[in-house]
Amino acid sequence: MSDKYLIFGATGSIGSNLSRLLKTSGYDIHIVGRNNDELSTLSDQLGCSSTVADVLEDGFVDKVKADVDNIKGIAYCVGSIDLKPIRMVTEQDFNKCMKLNLYSAVEVIKGFQESLKKNKGSLVLFSTVAAQRGFTNHSIIASTKAAVEGLTVSLAAEFAPNIRVNCIAPSLTKSKIAQPMLKNTAVAEGIAKAHPLKRLGEGIDSASLAKFLITEESSWVTGQIIAVDGGRSKLS
**Range list of H helices, the chain:** 13-24, 36-46, 60-65, 91-98, 104-118, 139-159, 179-182, 185-193, 203-214, 232-235
Q: What is the pLDDT of residue 181?
A: 84
pLDDT tens-place string over residues 83-122: 999 999 999 999 999 999 999 999 999 999 999 999 999 9
List the chain domain ranges.
4-235
Phi-psi region of 47 (alpha: psi -120 to 50; beta: other; left: phi over 0): left
Residue partners of 119: CB distance under 8 A and separation at least 6:
3, 70, 71, 72
* Inter-residue contact 226 to 167 (CB < 8 Å): yes
Q: What is the largest CA-CA distance in the chain?
A: 52
Q: Is 227 helix (H, G, I), strand (E, B) or coil?
A: strand
The CATH code belonging to domain 4-235 is: 3.40.50.720
Q: What is the pLDDT of residue 196?
A: 94
Cα angle 63, 67, 68; round to 5: 110
Q: What is the pLDDT of residue 2?
A: 63
Q: Is 133 helix (H, G, I), strand (E, B) or coil?
A: coil
Q: What is the pLDDT of residue 56?
A: 97
Each residue's pLDDT expressed in tens, for the chain with a length of 236 residues: 468 999 999 999 999 999 999 999 999 999 999 999 999 999 999 999 999 999 999 999 999 999 999 999 999 999 998 899 999 999 999 999 999 999 999 999 999 999 999 999 999 999 999 999 999 999 999 999 999 999 999 999 999 999 999 999 999 999 988 888 899 999 999 999 999 999 999 999 999 999 999 999 999 999 999 999 999 999 97
Give the Å distances, CA to CA, from 109 to 73, 103, 193, 204.
Answer: 10, 10, 37, 24
pTM for this prediction:
0.96
Q: How far apart are CA 193 and CA 89, in angstroms?
A: 29
Q: How far apart are CA 168 and CA 190, in angstroms?
A: 24
Give strand pairing partners of 174: none
Cα–Cα nearest to 177, from 141, 143, 207, 205: 141
Amino acid at 178: A
